[in-house]
Every structure is written in structure tokens, then in C-alpha cells.
Amino acid sequence: MAQVARNLIIKGGIVLHFLKRIPALGVSILFAGLLLSACGMFTPAPKPEIGPAGKPVESKPNPPVIERFYSPPAEMYDLEALAGAIFEGIYKENWQPAEENLAQLQVTWQDVKTRVGNKKGVKEADEALEKLTEAVAAKKITASYEALNKFMGSVSDVGKSYKLSPVADVIGVSNSLRNVSFYVEEKNWIKAASKVKELEGVWNHAKPALEQVGILGEITKTHAKIKQLKDAVNAENKGVAEEHIASLNESLGYIRQFHRGK
């Protein structure tokens, strides 16, 4: 009888000891789970094998989260400045300065590529730049404009991977203004009206990221001028539209330079 009692006491002690350990084990398991989840935040999301409309197209994987907070090369802003100079040469048919600025853009792009790596948009930018080079050499206005637009759109896609930088917004708004300017110059008012509406949408999306102390005056001016440009385009008033484009060109130049220096 005494032996039975002794066995029960020993077994009971083991059970109590195990029960006391459960909270500690639970905390350990929870901590390990949180640690694994945190590690997963810094690795690229896996690409799905199938989607609602079939297999996804080939694309670059998402960069690790931590890489999205790096600063972009300042030369990406220089690409935008060169694009403006090339565009002016294209629509004014001043091909020599267009070719000279294009040569500088090619050098700058090669430098940017070595810094950004194989990000989404790089391949598309290379392809567009090749077409731009051919079109400028052949002195084809529309083909040159379209290739330049495609190139800078792809550079903007590269910029989108830098989540804390407005470089993609700066390029996106500038590209949209070039679209409006091209069709105003051509007096294609249907296209111009479509592009100015697109510019307004791009600007409204980009504006919060561009607003910083030190550049707010130009932001306010740009916001007002885009609305005035829209009215001028809808009224098919080429002279007034060109005045607003010139004003926007200057303000966006200030905005670009401000953010480049950050």
C-alpha cells in the first residue's frame, strides 16, 4: 500500500512539472514562429504557378523588402533632364543636339544600369533605347518620340522599386507632359485632350510624394498650371497651351533638381 502511494506521488510530480513547463514552451514556440515570419519579410515573394487568367507572364521577382528602401542613383534624375533635351530636339527637328544629348543619355544609362542591377524595367529600357537610337538616326519624329516615351516609362518602372524615393513620380509626370506637348504641337486635339487628362491623373497620384518643405511653391504652381493647361487644350487654344507647357516645364525642372539633391 505504501509503495502504491509513493508511485502516485512521483507520477503526480512529473505531471505537475510538465504542466508548469507548458507556458514556457508555448512562448518559445510563439517566438520561433514570429522570428521565421520576420525572416520571410526580407525574402522575395514566390511567383504563383497559375492565376485567374492562366499562367503569369515572365517577370522579374519582387526585390527583398529591405532593398526597396535604398536610394536610387541620382543619375536617374539626369536621365529625365536629358530626355527633355532630346524631346525638344525631336519636335523642333533639331537633330544634331538631339543626337548629342542621346549620346550622353546612353552613357548615363549604362552607368545607371551598373548600379540598379537587373531590376524590372531594365530590359524594356534597353529595347526602347535601341529603337530610339535608330529613329533619331533616321530623323523620324513620331518614332523617336514614341521610343523616348517608352524608354523613360521603363526607367520609371525601375524607379518604382525604390519605395522611399519620388524618382518614378518625377519621371512619370514629366513623361506625361511630353505626351501633351507632342500632340499640342501636332494640333491633334483629340489625342492632346486624352493625354492632358492622363497627365492630371498622374500628377494627382504623384503630388503627395513630391510635397516637401522647400519646394511647396512649385508644387502649388504646377497643380494650378495643369488645370489651366487642361482648359486650354479642351478649348483647342495652341498658343495658351504652349504657354502653360513652358511654365510647367520650368516648375517640373525645379522639382526634379530639388529631389535629385536629396
Query: What residues are paired with 54 via a beta bridge?
Result: 51
- Report whether pLDDT(198) > 70: yes
pLDDT of residue 70: 77
Contacts 24+ apart (CB under 8 A), 92-100: 93/139, 93/141, 95/136, 95/139, 98/136, 98/144, 99/136, 99/137
pLDDT of residue 57: 57
Enumerate the domain spans of the chain: 1-35, 75-260
Could you report the per-residue pLDDT of 34-69, keeping only the tens digit for each? 444 444 444 556 667 676 666 665 555 555 555 556
pLDDT of residue 48: 72
- Report whether pLDDT(160) > 90: yes
Instruction: Looking at the chain, list the stretches that DSSP marks H as alpha helix, in order from N- to C-terminal side.
Output: 2-41, 75-91, 95-116, 122-137, 141-159, 167-185, 189-210, 216-234, 238-260
- Report whether pLDDT(240) > 50: yes
Confidence of residue 261 (pLDDT cuts 50, 70, 90): confident
pLDDT of residue 19: 38
Q: How far is residue 44's CA from residue 151's CA, in Å, rounded to a whole number?
A: 26
Could you report the per-residue pLDDT of 69-115, keeping only the tens digit for each? 678 999 999 999 999 999 999 999 999 999 999 999 999 999 999 99
Could you report the per-residue pLDDT of 126-142, keeping only the tens digit for each? 999 999 999 999 999 99
pLDDT of residue 68: 54
CA distances from 90 to 2, 93, 95, 144, 203 (A): 105, 5, 7, 7, 24
Confidence of residue 233 (pLDDT cuts 50, 70, 90): very high
Query: What are the residues whose beta carbons fall under 8 Å from the beta carbon of 90, sequence distance 6 or more?
Result: 98, 136, 141, 144, 145, 148
Average of per-residue pLDDT values in the chain: 85
pLDDT of residue 262: 75
Q: Which three cell numbers stand for residue 216?
A: 511647396
Could you report the per-residue pLDDT of 10-24, keeping only the tens digit for each? 444 443 444 344 454
pLDDT of residue 17: 47
- Report whether pLDDT(212) > 60: yes
Q: How far is residue 63's CA from residue 61's CA, in Å, rounded to a whole number?
A: 6
pLDDT of residue 44: 55
Percent of the chain with pLDDT over 90: 71
- Report whether pLDDT(153) > 50: yes
Q: What is the pTM of this model?
A: 0.75
